[in-house]
């Protein structure tokens, strides 16, 4: 892997001569778009994270988005808002 022509080009900063090498090199410079597998992996890691919700006053495991969409959170958020209004 380390001795592939693409890696050499990246290492020494030479200009890519063929189209496929060029597309790989220029792709590297763009903000990295994660592959499906990479995103899946990140989601898996995210799902194992333990976070604390200040509204529900509980610690939960999982993604922030999933928690915010959960019924428990919605209920607590509503209760929280009503309490502020009073």
Binding positions for Zn ion, rule: CB under 5 A: 53, 55-56, 73
Taking CB atoms, the residue at the shortest distance from Zn ion is 53
Rounded to the nearest whole angstrom, what is the least distance from the CB of residue 55 to Zn ion in the complex?
Answer: 5
Secondary element (H or E) of residue 41: helix 36-48
Nearer to Zn ion, 37 or 54 (CB): 54
Spatial distance between the Cα atoms of 39 and 72, rounded to a whole number of angstroms: 27
Rounded to the nearest whole angstrom, what is the least distance from the CB of residue 50 to Zn ion in the complex?
Answer: 13
Nearer to Zn ion, 19 or 57 (CB): 57
β-strand partners of 54: none
Reduce the DSSP state of residue 53 to 3 states and report it: strand
Rounded to the nearest whole angstrom, what is the least distance from the CB of residue 68 to Zn ion in the complex?
Answer: 7
Select from 10, 35, 12 the least CA-distant residue to 25.
10
Nearer to Zn ion, 26 or 61 (CB): 61
């Amino acid at each position: 892997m380390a001795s592939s022509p693409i890696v050499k080009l990246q290492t020494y900063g030479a200009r890519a001569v063929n189209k496929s090498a060029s597309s790989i090199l220029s792709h590297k410079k763009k903000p990295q778009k994660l592959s499906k597998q990479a995103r899946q992996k990140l989601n898996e890691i995210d799902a194992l994270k333990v976070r604390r919700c200040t509204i529900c006053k509980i610690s939960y495991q999982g993604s922030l988005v999933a928690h915010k969409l959960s019924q428990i959170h919605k209920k607590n958020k509503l209760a929280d808002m009503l309490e502020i209004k009073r």
